[in-house]
């Protein structure tokens, strides 16, 4: 509860500035106790997020995500989310192809949609048979189309309001954020694996224009499409 043992405090004194630090599950308590998460966004297991926020009010706790990347400090939710975080690190350092290979060898998905909110036990909905899964599957096959929230709700035979609420319960984020994230993922694949122009990739991923894709990639990844391609596209 906010206390760092003398042994751990001494160990942290030997860590060089800029060293990458990673916590899995409630290991984030140790980083927070050392003051390393002050002013940063972080996460931990969903059962502990409220307590974590009370103990460390200077930390911006995000209870919905599987992991948080703040540059040289990364935190994950539950233990299984540590796998997601480790794959993210491999993806960041070595590219999507290497991360996908590692995931296959470990027999785990290379990327899980949504956050840990989808794993929290909630009261059953009035109609538990209804789901947004079909709408999500349809959207992934039509990323190049101008998909609206109303389109998704129609595919699920729900009102926009009901669909939005159920989508967040199932996936852990909003439909628009999920759709943008999937488009960014697809753009990354095309930037790595194809010689298509930035404009062509923007069209194929539903961003419409290179300017729009550049904006969304900068927000999601902190780099432009051209910079991402220079970093991750393997030379011929």
| CATH number of the domain that residue 148 is part of | 1.10.10.60
Specify if 235 maps to a domain: yes
Calpha distance 211→227 (Å, rounded): 14
Regarding whether 94 and 148 lie in a shared domain, the answer is: no
Specify if 119 maps to a domain: no
Helical (H) or strand (E) element with 22: strand 21-23
Specify if 120 maps to a domain: no
Regarding whether 100 and 10 lie in a shared domain, the answer is: yes
Specify if 118 maps to a domain: no
Regarding whether 150 and 100 lie in a shared domain, the answer is: no
Contact criterion met (CB below 8 Å) for 170 and 191: no
Regarding whether 132 and 228 lie in a shared domain, the answer is: yes
pTM summary value? 0.54
Regarding whether 96 and 44 lie in a shared domain, the answer is: yes
Regarding whether 102 and 140 lie in a shared domain, the answer is: no
Calpha distance 96→160 (Å, rounded): 34
**Per-residue DSSP letter, 142:** T
Specify if 12 maps to a domain: yes
Q: How many CB atoms lie within 10 A of CB 8?
A: 13
Regarding whether 234 and 151 lie in a shared domain, the answer is: yes
Name residue 41's beta-bridge partners. Answer: 60
Helical (H) or strand (E) element with 43: none
Regarding whether 62 and 99 lie in a shared domain, the answer is: yes
Q: Which residue from 11, 6, 59 is spatially nearest to 36, judged by alpha carbons?
A: 59
Structurally, the chain folds into a number of domains equal to 2
**Greatest distance between any 2 Cα atoms in the chain:** 59
Regarding whether 230 and 134 lie in a shared domain, the answer is: yes
**Which of 50, 75, 106 is the last residue in one of the domains?**
106
- When computed from its CA atoms, the radius of gyration of the chain, rounded to whole angstroms, is 20
Could you tell me the two tokens for 84?
A: 């997601």
Calpha distance 192→235 (Å, rounded): 10
Q: What is the pLDDT of residue 129?
A: 46
Regarding whether 139 and 92 lie in a shared domain, the answer is: no
Q: What is the pLDDT of residue 169?
A: 85
Q: What is the pLDDT of residue 96?
A: 82
Could you tell me the two tokens for 164?
A: 């939005």
Give residue 99's domain range: 6-106
Regarding whether 224 and 130 lie in a shared domain, the answer is: yes
Q: What is the pLDDT of residue 125?
A: 45
Calpha distance 133→138 (Å, rounded): 9
Regarding whether 222 and 130 lie in a shared domain, the answer is: yes
Specify if 1 maps to a domain: no
Specify if 133 maps to a domain: yes
Q: What is the pLDDT of residue 113?
A: 61
Contact criterion met (CB below 8 Å) for 44 and 61: yes
Three-state SS for 153? helix
Q: Which residues of the chain have pLDDT under 50?
A: 122-129, 236
Q: What is the pLDDT of residue 126?
A: 44
Q: What is the CATH number of the domain that holds 94?
A: 3.40.50.880
């Amino acid at each position: 509860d906010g206390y760092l043992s003398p042994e751990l405090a001494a160990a942290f004194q030997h860590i060089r500035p800029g060293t990458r630090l990673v916590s899995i599950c409630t290991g984030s308590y140790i980083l927070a106790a050392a003051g390393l998460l002050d002013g940063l966004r972080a996460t931990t297991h969903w059962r502990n997020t409220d307590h974590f926020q009370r103990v460390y009010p200077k930390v911006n706790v995000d209870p919905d995500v599987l992991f948080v990347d703040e540059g040289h400090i990364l935190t994950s939710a539950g233990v299984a989310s540590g796998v997601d975080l480790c794959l993210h690190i491999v993806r960041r350092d070595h590219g999507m192809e290497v991360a996908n290979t590692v995931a296959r060898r470990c027999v785990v998905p290379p990327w899980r949609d949504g956050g840990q909110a989808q794993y929290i036990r909630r009261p059953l909905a009035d109609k538990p048979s209804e789901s947004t899964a079909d709408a999500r599957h349809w959207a992934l096959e039509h990323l190049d189309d101008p998909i609206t929230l109303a389109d998704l709700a129609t595919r699920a035979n729900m009102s926009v309001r009901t669909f939005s609420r159920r989508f967040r319960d199932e996936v852990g984020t909003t439909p628009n954020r999920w759709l943008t994230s999937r488009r960014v993922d697809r753009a990354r694949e095309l930037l790595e694996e194809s010689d298509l122009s930035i404009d062509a990739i923007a069209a194929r991923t539903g961003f419409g224009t290179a300017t729009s894709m550049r904006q969304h990639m900068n927000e999601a990844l902190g780099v432009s499409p051209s910079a991402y391609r220079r970093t991750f596209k393997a030379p011929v």
